[in-house]
Amino acid sequence: KQEVTQIPAALSVPEGENLVLNCSFTDSAIYNLQWFRQDPGKGLTSLLLIQSSQREQTSGRLNASLDKSSGRSTLYIAASQPGDSATYLCAVDTDKLIFGTGTRLQVFP
């Protein structure tokens, strides 16, 4: 059974810091891995999707890496801003999308 874990569960940092969010999964037989953002009371916003054959994807200040063999992905956020405050979820696609436990991020001015 695929299990997806995210560390840390919560993070509070001052504005401007570079951040690393971690995602680990137990079964490496995945099609892809995706990072989402969820604002309180809102739906999911897709940030980055990494195919199983890829090593990383970048979008603006976000960079996600994937090491399928070790069952790990990281989301790097450069120069964090208060607007980055949200819950970040990773999800692995193995015929169905299995979500991680989430990281609640707060960036304060």
Partner 1 sequence: SAVISQKPSRDICQRGTSLTIQCQVDSQVTMMFWYRQQPGQSLTLIATANQGSEATYESGFVIDKFPISRPNLTFSTLTVSNMSPEDSSIYLCSVLFSGRVPFFGPGTRLTVL
Binding site for partner 1 (CB under 8 A): 1, 31-32, 34, 43-44, 46, 49, 89, 91, 93, 96-102
Question: Smaller CB distance to partner 1: residue 3 or 17?
Answer: 3
Rounded to a whole number of angstroms, the minimum distance from the CB of residue 96 to partner 1 is: 6
16 or 25, CB closer to partner 1? 25
| DSSP calls for 31-72 | SEEEEEEE-TTS-EEEEEEEETT-SEEEETTEEEEEETTTTE
Report residue 77 as tokens: 């956020």
| Residue 67 to residue 55: CA distance in whole angstroms | 7
Minimum Å distance from CB 102 to partner 1? 5
Distance of CA 79 to the CA centre of its chain: 16
| C-beta closer to partner 1: residue 18 or 26 | 26
